[in-house]
Amino acid sequence: MPWRCAQWPSPLHVRDIGAGFITLLASDLRGCCNIASGVATPLVEMIAKIGALSGRGEHIEIGAPADRPDDPRIPVGDNRLLFPTGWRATMSLHEGLDETYQRWAGTTK
C-alpha cells in the first residue's frame, strides 16, 4: 500500500537519546524536558534514504491514503532546556540511518 508520507518527525539516534537521558539525570534540571533533535525532517526523505541504502528504493510508493486528521504535521521537540547541560545531538539523520542500516544489513548476511 502506498504511503502519503506527509509527516515531518524529529528523529534522533538512540545513542543520542541515551546520552540525553544520562545528561538529564545527572543535571539539576526539573520538570518536563524534551530529548529531541529539534529538526523536522520529511518522512518521505527518511524513507527515500533507507530505500537508497538498501538498493531497493524502486519498491517504495509514495502517495495514497489520506492523512489522519489527528496526526500532528510537524512535531518538533524543543530541546532548549537541555542546552545549559552541554547536551547536543551528535549524529545527523543521515549518519544515523547509515549506521543503523549497515548494522542491520550485517546481521542478515
> What is the number of structural domains in the chain?
1
Predicted local distance difference test score (pLDDT) of residue 2: 44
Q: Is 3 part of any domain?
A: no
Predicted local distance difference test score (pLDDT) of residue 17: 92
Q: Is 6 part of any domain?
A: no
Q: Is 1 part of any domain?
A: no
| Domain extent at residue 102 | 14-107
Locate cell 504511503: which residue?
3
User: pLDDT of the chain along its 109 residues, tens only?
Assistant: 344 556 677 788 999 999 999 999 999 988 888 888 888 888 888 888 989 999 988 888 776 566 677 766 666 778 888 889 999 989 988 899 999 998 888 876 5
Q: Is 95 part of any domain?
A: yes
Calpha distance 75→10 (Å, rounded): 7
Q: Is 69 part of any domain?
A: yes
pLDDT tens for 69-86 read 776 666 677 888 888 999
Is residue 93 within 8 Å of residue 39, measured between CB atoms?
yes
